[in-house]
Amino acid sequence: MLAQYLDLTDQFNSNPDYEVVIDVSNYDYCLIQPIGEDVNLFSTIDSGAVQGVTDGNATTATNFVSVAALELANGTSYGASVTDGTISRLAVVGRYVKIKKGSPITKLLVMLTKIS
């Protein structure tokens, strides 16, 4: 198993829209743990690419839609938001995931996992 651990707190809080977009295309799932605020989840497969000019990337990604994550505490509840302090598992359902909230957060932790 390959895992990448990210602390996205500074990136999230420095964005005026209080959001962060991450590329999850090489992973099987990600775990998300917000601390201090609930967050909303969105995903897209649209990289914002211009054919023949660019492949697009997380900063140009567009056409995000809400996606649901599994709350690990109970293993049954799915929601398009992750509750403060809980850990939720999001199966990779697109190339990019946007984590968003309208205010600063205390901590935003993400674990990206690839099963070998």
Residue 5 pLDDT greater than 90, yes or no: yes
Q: What's the rounded mean pLDDT across residues 54-61?
A: 84
pLDDT of 20: 97
Q: What is the per-residue pLDDT across 83-101, written as a single tens digit (0 to 9) for each? A: 999 999 998 878 999 999 9
pTM comes to 0.91
SS3 42: strand
Confidence class for position 53, pLDDT limits 50, 70, 90: confident
Give the H or E element holding residue 5.
strand 2-7
Number of H helices, E strands in the chain: 1, 11
Say if residues 37 and 99 touch (Cβ distance below 8 Å).
Answer: no
Per CATH, domain 2-48+62-114 is 3.10.310: no
Domain spans of the chain, in order of start: 2-48+62-114
